[in-house]
Amino acid sequence: MQIVRKLLDQQGIDKTIVNRSRETPFDIAEKNGHRGIASILEEHGVLSAKSMKPTTKTANRELKQTVSDIKHGVHNQLETTRLTRKRVQGIAKRLNKMHTEGLNNAINSTTVVAVLIATVAFAAIFQLPGQFVDNPDNLAPGQSAGEAKIAPKPEFMIFIIFDSIALFISLAVVVVQTSIVVIERKAKKQLMSVINKLMWLACVLISVAFLALSYVVVGDDEKWLALSVTVIGTIIMVTTIGTMGYWVIVQRIETSKLRRSLTSRSRSESMSFMEESEILENDFKKLYAI
């Protein structure tokens, strides 16, 4: 019995071990009639196999329940992710449709504006103030029949140069818009970006042509009117073009930051969902400049 006590006092001893007959040391002592050893084993927590079975069954049942709960939780999480991804894809399709419609409207508007600027620039060259020299008998020295009476003035030279450039830029935009059909949205945005910059330039040139001609119309005595118009027009055009340029630069910076952040991340499933959400958040804007 002393040997049994010494063995039971050892640390790390397994008190739930069973043999091939599914008997514990307590069961063997009881079967062989060693009551004293059985009581010592019972004092040290060595139980019979029958008393251990409910605990084992309970542990197995709890383990199965835990595994089942984990399985259901994972299934629910996967189902929620699938439904969320489906909703995100639906939102992406609607956003792509909205962007496509917006680009098509921008293309149509740009074509109309280009035709309008070309028409105004073309008509302005042939409807000058002071008209033209049409009487061959009353020609001033150095003039020729059909020449504009304001042709020698520097203001007219500025006008005709800038007006002509605006005319040909607008015609070039009209030719491109009516000749090229772009299907892919990214290529369409790139085309519109270039065309819009050309239209900005055409608007600036036609504005300079108008301001130059205003100095001829008001004359030398009322030149303050032309100066006032120049100041007002410059403020409006610089503010407008500057604001549009600011929007373009800010949008390019945000897009560049988003691309760098996406490329630096891993391509796991969870990161893939986060990337889609951030792309949608970046694309869903009420206003952006091409």
Quote the CA–CA distance of 25 and 3 in Å, as a whole number: 14
What b/e readout covers 45-64, taking b as 16+ CB neighbours within 10 angstroms? ebbbbeebeeeeeeeeeeee
- Is residue 64 assigned to a domain? no
pLDDT at 266 (0 to 100) = 47
How large a percentage of the chain has pLDDT more than 90?
A: 10
Per DSSP, the three-state class of 102 is helix
Can you tell me the distance from the alpha carbon of 138 to that of 146, in angstroms, rounded to the nearest whole number?
12
Any domain includes 210: yes
Instruction: Give residue-wise pLDDT tens across range 6-30.
Output: 676 666 677 777 777 777 777 777 7
Question: Model-level pTM?
Answer: 0.56
The β-bridge partners of 132 are 148
Whether residue 82 lies inside any domain: the answer is yes
Residue 239 lies in a domain: yes
Domain shared by 221 and 99, yes or no: yes
Q: Is residue 118 part of a domain?
A: yes
- φ/ψ of 19, rounded to 5, equals -90, -170
- For 26-40, the pLDDT digits (tens) are 777 777 777 777 777
- Total domains present in the chain: 2
Which domain, by its residues, includes 229? 69-132+144-283
Q: Are residues 32 and 96 in the same domain?
A: no
169: number of Cβ within 10 Å: 21
Together in a domain, 43 and 166: no
- Assess if residue 174 is contained within a domain: yes
Both 93 and 195 in one domain: the answer is yes
Q: What share of the chain is helix, strand, coil (3-state, %, to 5)?
A: 75, 0, 25
Do residue 29 and residue 151 come from a single domain?
Answer: no
pLDDT for 149 equals 66
